[in-house]
Structure 1
Amino acid sequence: MNEMQPQLRTVNVTRYITPLREGGSMPAIAEADDGFMYVLKFKGAGQGVKSLIAELLGGEIARTLGLRIPELVFANLDESFGRNEGDEEIQDLLKSSVGLNLALHFLSGAITYDPAVTVIEPLLASKIVWLDGLLTNVDRTPRNTNMLWWRNELWLIDNGASLYFHHSWQNWQEQAVRPFAQISNHVLLPQATELESVDKEFRAILTPERIRGIVNLIPDAWVSNGDWEETPDEVREVYYEFLTTRIKSSDIFVKAAQNARETLV
């Protein structure tokens, strides 16, 4: 297998267990036909497939960089699934999400990362801050860290609020080289003292070939709807160009993070 082309398994959802109502998009814990439990993200919720694309691309970029993230899988939802669900809101969500969705392996026993309890060492903090600067992830704050502590290790979850350029699709070229001001709210920014060395390391890893392989994971079914005028290949090309342009211009978001950190110390 070409190492530049990552692969995701596809599972079939067999049982809806419980909703996770703390998220606006109402993800759920569900069981699949491989016997494992997953946190299921629905294409019919919130920001729709754009949130799933951000989750997919952000997660697989994080994995490529060696950061810990639960396994991502495509999760197929049959049209008969949830027919007996008593909650009308959940039933509507399931009906609108028939087909291919996205899920993360459920880390049983994991707890939400609390910065007041555990301080992350500078190198790892810098890697995560760099990643979120690249992805323009607005949702890794002290109030909502979107990280889990599991088996004495830090795991990243929920990249669905990343890549917000795709909500105003037409000016992606400008946004690709824009500083990320919201990095000042990042929960790990105070410890991120090694951004320059991380920038050099990560730019070498995230070659255009690797980004192409990750972007090619986006299913046609997710980008063949009214959200885009372009063909699926053209949509994937925009994501590719956005990410590769941003990586080439990483000094912009690295400098923004360094400047924001100086105001904290």
Structure 2
Amino acid sequence: MKNNPELRTVTVTRYITPLREGGSLPALAEADDDFKYVLKFKGAGHGVKALIAELLGCEIARALGFKVPELVYANLDEAFGRTEADEEIQDLLQSSQGLNLALHFLSGAINFDPVVTQVDPLLASKIVWLDSFITNVDRTFRNTNMLMWHKELWLIDHGASFYFHHSWTNMEKQAKTPFALIKDHVLLPQASKLEEADLFSKQLLSEEKIRQIVDLIPEEWLNWEGYDENMQEIKETYTQFLLVRLENSEIFLKEAQNARKALI
């Protein structure tokens, strides 16, 4: 199995508890490096596509300088979970044998509250730009998917991004969508420096960097039934989606600016 050396691989040793606020039943788990992780399962919800979205979204955020938890590949042994009493969880563990994805658990972190914490306009603009770029539908007032840890803002949970890959058609057309759902973004009211965020982000996201990030997708997650593309072709589709979207960022930038004007 070919994995990119930039991400560590751990083996899950203990299932601690489900985190039921997530629709895909992520869990708090411990691994053989003695660290705790939020474990995302390939056997849940949208399967490996949610893991791919999490991986790409998180690593693009990291490339742009945001604070995000360390990601690791998390291996589930075939014997893992057989003693789990909850049948739903046991089924999830059994269907997730092999390579999954986990984020380092930020012990003591609290959910970001936009009423309590004001975000700097440039930082807010960069986060809005990121979520417009990766088409992340899940950073709203209802579910901010941000944490405060040691008085700093951390971004989590990008599994609802890249929703084009659920239909996997008209990639170039999908890459040029304005992303109207940005109107619901929790930080849009503070995002008064979107043009600066656009310039900043485009300087950091070179084609080489994007290809490095896409290459992190493990081969085990690219065996898609019912698709004609091979593993390399699937990776190239993700790469081209990101490159086309980056080249045409004025489309989603204008959408975000117009959505913000409608708010204020």
Gaps of 5+ in 2: none
1:164-175 superposed matches below 5 A: 164-175=163-174
1:1-265 superposed matches below 5 A: 7-226=6-225, 228-265=227-264
For residues 211-230 of structure 1, what are the alpha-carbon distances to aligned partners after superposition, in whole Å with 9 as ceiling and x for unaligned? Answer: 00000011111011315321
CA contact (8 A) 1:6 1:213 kept: no
After TM superposition, which residue ranges in structure 1, 4 or more long, deviate above 4 angstroms? Answer: none
CA distance in 2, matches of 1:228, 1:112: 39
Gaps of 5+ in 1: none
The aligned amino acid for 1:94 is: L
CA distance in 2, matches of 1:85, 1:40: 16
For residues 141-183 of structure 1, what are the alpha-carbon distances to aligned partners after superposition, in whole Å with 9 as ceiling and x for unaligned? Answer: 0000000011000100000000000011012111100101000
For residues 46-100 of structure 1, what are the alpha-carbon distances to aligned partners after superposition, in whole Å with 9 as ceiling and x for unaligned? Answer: 0000000000000000000000100000000000001100000000000000000
For residues 95-127 of structure 1, what are the alpha-carbon distances to aligned partners after superposition, in whole Å with 9 as ceiling and x for unaligned? Answer: 000000000000000011010111111011001
Tell me the secondary structure at the aligned position of residue 126 of structure 1.
helix
TM-score by length of 2: 0.97
For residues 191-249 of structure 1, what are the alpha-carbon distances to aligned partners after superposition, in whole Å with 9 as ceiling and x for unaligned? Answer: 00111011111111100000000000111110113153211000000000000100000
Tell me the secondary structure at the aligned position of residue 158 of structure 1.
coil
CA contact (8 A) 1:177 1:252 kept: yes
Tell me the secondary structure at the aligned position of residue 263 of structure 1.
helix
**What number of residue pairs does the alignment pair up?**
261
The alignment yields a C-alpha RMSD, in angstroms, of 0.9
CA distance in 2, matches of 1:21, 1:262: 36
Tell me the secondary structure at the aligned position of residue 44 of structure 1.
coil
Identity %: 67
Deviates more, 1:219-228 or 1:42-51: 219-228
The aligned amino acid for 1:49 is: V
CA distance in 2, matches of 1:116, 1:202: 27
CA contact (8 A) 1:19 1:27 kept: yes
Shift of 1:6: 7.4
Deviates more, 1:6-15 or 1:206-215: 6-15
Specify whether residues 113 and 6 from structure 1 end up closer, same or farther in structure 2 by C-alpha distance, changes over 3 A only: farther
CA distance in 2, matches of 1:227, 1:41: 24
Tell me the secondary structure at the aligned position of residue 75 of structure 2.
strand
